[in-house]
Amino acid sequence: MIIGIDASRANKSLRTGTEWYSFYIIQSLLEIDRDNTYILYLDREPAVDLATALAPYTNFSFKILKWPLKYFWTLGRLSWEMLWHRPQVLFVPAHSLPLVRPHRTINTIHDIAFMREGNLYQKRKVHLHSRFLKVLLGFFARLLTRWHYQLNSLDYLKWSTVYSLKHSQRIIAVSEFTKQELLDTYKKVDAQKISVVHNGYPKQIYRPIEDSQTRRDCLSKYGLQEPFFLYVGRLEKKKNTHTLVEAFAIYKESHPESDLQLVLIGNAGYGYDEIKYIIEEYNLARVVIMPGWVPEEELPFIFSAATAFVFPTLHEGFGIPVIQAMACALPTLISDIAVLHEIAGEATLFFNPNDLLGLTKAMNIIATDIDLREDLKIKGLKQAAKFSWEKSAQETLSVLTAKK
């Protein structure tokens, strides 16, 4: 069987959630499958690490599909490719589909927070140098969606998800929570069409690392000093990062003797200005460290050095950083939301993400209770062991190759 995969997201240089999912699910599929042939469609030359990771496998090839625009590669260029050269199966590891595709097309929907909590998203307009082209694309966007949607990022998420649910033969949801949200929100969707395949994590990378010179060098590189609370994820409203910073400010005021710092790893997103304002308002510049995006191979050294991982997110489809933290034997303090109960089980300390003082209290508990942290380390390692990219790939392959 010939399986085509939209690998454009796996080919990004600064990967985050969906991009890492694409990268590892592709790599793991090739590791376990010698029977099928894979064509990986890219929007540019393969990144060095992607090419290197896939080099051992002979049953795949890259196909670079050039496209003059910054946007709509999947909708436009991949559709053109599908018009003339269709694989037997097309897998898109994200919510959007090409307009032209084989009958057997499967895609992954990671979450639909934009439907439940649209205020957490920014309506980014498409930036084009040519006003004529912008007007033209805007017109076609309205025409294509029967005048229901406009040319902005939030409307694109809404339209493309509806389109995928209607036109994909099968849908992969990354959690039972996401599947149920899809069924609750889109009443016409057949539950039998949606398969749940949990995400994984690279076990060769995320593991406990005892104090070492390499670990110390990594901390020094980013100006980090133990002890510290750690957050990993985009710095944005959806992740509720501003509440974490404010809770930390209150914690520091209540415990002036504490030398704990707060480390926020990730790129800035919608709502970052509020985070900066809180840092300035509470004079936290010296104790809130923001290294930006950090390469994945360095993250385990930082995870292993932290006192606790704090994840105040308001909405997730899965929550990969929680599993990464647990795999590094880092105690976790996370939002009391349904999907994180599904993922973390009883291996964490939960808090209400909308309760500022409750979060402050929880931070104090986990910072001072050594026995609790040791208990969460053990439980976390056991919980993380339930997930792997190999398991995810096996279940994904079953969906891709199913007869119906």
Q: pLDDT for 76-94, tens place per residue?
A: 899 999 999 999 999 999 9
pLDDT at 151 over 60: no
pLDDT band at 125 (very low <50, low <70, confident <90, very high): low
How far is C-alpha 171 from the chain's CA centre?
A: 17
Mean of pLDDT over the chain: 90
pLDDT band at 113 (very low <50, low <70, confident <90, very high): confident
pLDDT at 358 over 80: yes
Tokens 């599993």, residue located: 323
Q: Which helix (H) or strand (E) holds 2?
A: strand 2-6
pLDDT at 315 over 60: yes
pLDDT band at 128 (very low <50, low <70, confident <90, very high): low
Tell me the torsion sign for CA atoms 246, 248, 249, 255.
positive
Distance of alpha carbon 402 from alpha carbon 37, whole angstroms: 16
Q: Which helix (H) or strand (E) holds 12?
A: none
Residue type, position 90, single letter: L
pLDDT at 247 over 80: yes
Q: Mean pLDDT throughout 153-161? A: 77
Q: What is the pLDDT of residue 120?
A: 58
| Alpha-helical runs (H) found in 7-66 | 17-32, 48-54
In this chain, the answer to whether the domains covering 2-200+389-401 and 213-384 adopt an identical fold is yes
pLDDT band at 135 (very low <50, low <70, confident <90, very high): low
Q: What is the pLDDT of residue 67?
A: 87
Task: Name the residue ranges covered by the structural domains of the chain.
Answer: 2-200+389-401, 213-384
Token pair belonging to 31: 């590791």
Instruction: Identify the residue with better confidence: 13 or 245.
Output: 245
39-54 residue pLDDT tens: 999 999 999 999 999 9
Percent of the chain with pLDDT over 90: 76
pLDDT at 383 over 60: yes
Residues 284 and 250: beta-carbon distance below 8 Å:
no
Instruction: Give Cα separations from 116 to 181, 235, 279, 316, 339 (angstroms).
Output: 9, 20, 29, 11, 14
Question: Is 3.30.300.20 the CATH number for 2-200+389-401?
Answer: no
CATH class of 213-384: alpha beta
